[in-house]
Chains A and B, each alone.
Chain A
Amino acid sequence: MYEHDVIVVGAGGAGLRAAIAAHEEGADVALVTKLHPVRSHTGAAEGGINAAIRDGDSWEDHAYDTMKGSDYLGDAPAIETLCQDSPKETIQLEHWGMAFSREDDGSVSQRPFGGLSFPRTTYAGAETGHHLLHTMYEQVVKRGIQVYDEWYVTRLAVTNQDDPAERDCHGVIAYDIKSGKIEGFTAKNGVILTTGGLGQVFDHTTNAVANTGDGAAMAYRAGVPLEDMEFIQFHPTTLPSTGVLISEGVRGEGGILYNSEGERFMFEHGYANNEGELASRDVVARAELTEVNNGRGINDEYVHLDMRHLGEERIIDRLENILHLAEDFEGVNALEEPMPVKPGQHYAMGGIETDENGETCISGLYAAGECACVSVHGANRLGGNALPELIVFGARAGRHAAGKDLGTPEITTGKTEDTEIGELDTPVEPGAVGTPEDAVADGGTTMAQPSQTVETALEAERARVERLLERDEGVQQAELRAKLQKSMTANVNVFRNEEGLKQALRDIREVREEYENVYVNDPSRTFNTDLIHTIEMRNLIDLAEAITLGALVRDEFRGAHWRQENQERRDDVWLKHTLLSWEDGTPELWFKPTILEGEDGEYEPKIRSY
């Protein structure tokens, strides 16, 4: 049994920032990560960090752009916190030595990004995330913060009261990948989930193979609602063969999109007459696929992104990494020819419901970064807003978990008296199929002693792994994963309709049933990746179901969520968040209103035009 004040699960941007913040407040903090911190997917972020740090810019403008970009599904208190804290957090990185790109006077560079009214995206070449990740890991090393690398957290130790709001999180159970040991970790103050994205739910994604949404799935099963899961961002420029990301920075610097007829379609076909290629991501992604569907795609699959006219010098200075990616993963010399690009799954706007301090409805359980939904992105995330989210809310969660008073949050979590319960009309019974794995969920005790809660969870987890390893026939996770990913990409992609979503639910249900017979072929306790992928697969099933249920319920068109039958944003009904709760394995749907009231008044929903 290990014991710390604060345990951070995951060591990407949000996790590292949370750990540093908790450490600065005097807490004994540990990072537990299934990778090594420098292997985290934050390293793959390219574009930059939005921060209003220049004369002529203001946090209010940043907040306005973000509200508009979110299609008015973001919560104003969260967005305003993001925009107020981002400048100091960004400069903090600069003081930690981060290798930002520089202007002639030595100040950090900023560039234009989609949906922004000011060029406020602070960057380090086209590899901003790499520098951010390494800079913060360096600070973790400097402070001597304990890191358990290649330890996979597979279960939360949460008490089991009927009402999630009365539950306490006392720690986590983790699996030491190298030795196969399963151990309990007690957190005296709190557990912070910073496990990142869930892109592996889809088969064409910019996300790493490790991005299986573990934190979100564990929190869900422990009783925390998942919020706005239907809002999945599809990035308009990913390489067709691999899903590797081509930064929005390319369009920010002036890159142009062409169809097979050589038309600059964003303008010529009227998708965004003012902003063109710099319209927000949902607009550009739909435009590209519409071109392909109308026969103006290249090889019926993709469009071209051209940056040749920017000139070699500027490309090398600001986008050099893109040249390497295009070369290594698509065989294209982007100085001489345009790059093929198509939309790919990129970011989960929804996630674990938290308040501005990162806390969930379960006491002692926090979440920050992509796995969380404090709701700064709403229905569509603006490029350059993910990295500030990591550092702003990572730091806040770390401080709060370490005991610092950050004031009363304006965002509520969990069910309240005003909660509106929704109805699910689904073609199949979603959720649990009644196995031992499901019955234990991730909690399992009402005991008052934290150590007993952790012990109980530890026993349950050891039993689960034992069962997976003992079984020696059935189906293997790779087959199930491929089936799930294929169905999600076919049915829950950029364009959605009711029939497709229902088909996805049927497929997910099938996969869930087959998972009952999943077995791990590798009997070894040493570095058993077969076992890890099998545990991850369970998380993918729960998250795929949550995404699809949300998408089916929300019968309107908002931000990244496009519905064939419902081509309009319906503010009269849908200015509200969808929430899904795990009720003994059966998802329960409910809603809470979007908060449009900011510090200086209410944000008025307007038509989004670019």
Chain B
Amino acid sequence: MSTQVPEKTESETETETETERTETPGDRRRAEKRARQKGTTEAQETTETDEESIHLKVFRYDPEIEGKMEPRFDDFHVPFTKGMTVLDALMLARDRFDTTLTFRHSCRQAICGSDALFINGTQRLGCKTQISDLEEPVRVEPLPHAEVVKDLVVDMEHFYDQMHAVEPYFQTNEAPSDELQEQHQSRENREKIKMSTRCIWCGACMSSCNIAAGDNEYLGPAALNKAFRFAMDKREGEDMREHRFEILDQEHGVWRCQTQFSCTNVCPKDIPLTEHIQELKRSAVKNNLKFW
């Protein structure tokens, strides 16, 4: 019943994300904000431009409704307001023009990870992508390399399966038996795993990964990052570390990564995924020379 998103070329992801930026989107927004606060004349001009509309091209598909089974793009023109995000625009389009438009979203503050989308050719969270940072028309598609359930909703089962495959839970024989006694961890060790613990399971990295696209069994960047989080946590102990490397040091484990950095480029939480995977490779080599 499901279908792959059509016409997706893998190189799109690469080129978009490697674009050199002299000023960050944040710099630009702040400059606009300052200009806005300077005087009333400018403020009025801003108000006028606020009434502009934004042009969205949104991917549509429904497996059971006649006329929607053939994937297509719908155009929406929604009123633009300063600070509007892609998620805001989608919600407006849905609530005002077409309530059948379907997408996942919840926290709208970049922590629930449910609205990762393919926006102008890059994996991003809809809620933390400012419309003002994008070129029009803004093209919104479901995450590539996943089955489309309906419109912008993709099946996440495979992603969850890969996450679960690395035993994504703390395991130690060294926890204190006293229920009130802490198991100490050095600040340094906490710092080491800090970035890896920030993963929100949005799936952007997995969707951007060419290797994962071609090898369904590859654990992929998110799961490997999760494995890094535990493998580098010294509280787990040496035995468990060895066990973890047995899982990673396999044909579809760390060695599949080809250091393309696409995962790192798209991660909305700035996790250095590629770096983490390389460090796991180094550790695997040190543990037990074995190349796949």
Contacts and interface: CB of A to CB of B under 8 A. Distances in A.
B133 to A, nearest CB: 11
Interface string A82-96: 000001100110111
Interface stretch (B148-156, B208-216, B273-281): B148-156
Contacts of B33: 331-332
B175 interface: yes
B62 A524 contact: yes
Interface string A265-282: 000000000000000000
B186 A91 contact: no
A4 B229 CA distance: 33
B149 A53 contact: no
A99 B193 contact: yes
Contacts of B171: 142
B95 interface: yes
Contacts of B153: 527
Interface string A405-442: 00000000000000000000000000000000000000
A412 B184 CA distance: 41
A346 B49 CA distance: 32
Interface in B8-43: 26, 29-30, 32-33
B190 A99 contact: yes
Contacts of B102: 522, 527-529
A107 B184 contact: yes
Contacts of B186: 102, 106
Interface stretch (A22-30, A300-308, A322-330, A376-384): A322-330
Interface centre among B105, B112, B150 (most CB of A within 10 A): B112
A521 B100 contact: yes
A135 to B, nearest CB: 7
Contacts of A44: 107, 109, 111-112
Given A41-B112, A141-B169, A331-B33, A99 B105 contact: no
A528 B150 CA distance: 9
Interface in B70-122: 83, 94-96, 98-100, 102-103, 105-114
B65 interface: yes
Interface in A255-295: none
Contacts of A39: 106-107, 112-114
Given A139-B169, A327-B26, A522-B100, A94 B63 contact: no
Given A91-B180, A127-B198, A241-B83, A138 B100 contact: no
Contacts of B168: 138, 141
Contacts of B62: 524, 526
A246 to B, nearest CB: 11
Interface in B173-203: 175-176, 179-187, 190, 193-194, 197-198, 200-201
Interface centre among A41, A102, A105, A241 (most CB of B within 10 A): A102
A567 interface: no
Given A38-B200, A107-B182, A108-B182, A325 B106 contact: no
A363 interface: no
Contacts of B185: 100, 102, 106
Interface in A206-263: 208-210, 241-242, 244-245
A138 B169 contact: yes
A314 B11 CA distance: 40
Contacts of B179: 88, 91-92
Contacts of B109: 44, 242, 244-245, 325, 329
Contacts of B64: 524-526
B291 interface: no
Contact of B170 (A38, A40, A127, A135): A135
Given A141-B169, A242-B108, A524-B65, A178 B149 contact: yes
B139 interface: no
A4 B176 CA distance: 33
B197 A99 contact: yes
A523 interface: yes
Contacts of B167: 142
Contacts of B187: 102-104, 106
B164 interface: yes
Contact of B194 (A96, A99, A134, A209): A99
B106 A210 contact: yes
Interface in B218-251: 230, 233, 235-236
A585 interface: no
Chain A contact patch, size range? 35 or more
Interface in A24-68: 35-36, 38-41, 43-44, 53
B128 interface: yes
Interface centre among A130, A135, A139 (most CB of B within 10 A): A130
Given A95-B176, A525-B64, A331 B169 contact: no
A405 to B, nearest CB: 20
Nearest to A530: B99
Contacts of A329: 83, 109, 128
Contact of B110 (A91, A92, A328): A328
A528 B104 CA distance: 11
Given A88-B179, A522-B99, A524-B65, A208 B164 contact: no
Interface string B118-155: 00000000001010000000000000000001110100
Contact of A332 (B30, B106, B172, B190): B30
Nearest to B153: A527
Interface string A125-151: 101001100110011011000000000
Contact of A43 (B107, B108, B182, B233): B107
B175 A208 contact: no
Contacts of B108: 208-209, 242, 244
B99 A521 contact: yes
B150 A526 contact: yes
A84 to B, nearest CB: 12
A36 B170 contact: no
B180 A53 contact: yes
A331 B112 contact: no
Contacts of B198: 127, 130
B65 to A, nearest CB: 5
Contacts of A103: 187
Contact of B65 (A41, A478, A523): A523
B107 A530 contact: no
Interface centre among B26, B169, B233 (most CB of A within 10 A): B169
Interface of B: 26, 29-30, 32-33, 62-65, 83, 94-96, 98-100, 102-103, 105-114, 128, 130, 149-151, 153, 156, 160, 164, 167-172, 175-176, 179-187, 190, 193-194, 197-198, 200-201, 230, 233, 235-236
User: Considering the complex of A and B, which 10 residue pairs feature the smallest CB-CB distances, nearest first?
Assistant: A97-B170, A106-B184, A331-B29, A478-B95, A138-B169, A522-B100, A142-B169, A39-B112, A208-B106, A208-B107
11 contacts: A35-B114, A41-B106, A95-B175, A99-B190, A139-B169, A241-B83, A329-B83, A524-B62, A524-B64, A527-B150, A528-B102
Given A97-B235, A331-B32, 19 more contacts: A38-B200, A39-B106, A43-B112, A44-B109, A91-B180, A97-B170, A97-B230, A97-B233, A99-B193, A99-B194, A103-B187, A104-B187, A142-B169, A209-B106, A209-B108, A242-B83, A327-B26, A331-B26, A524-B100
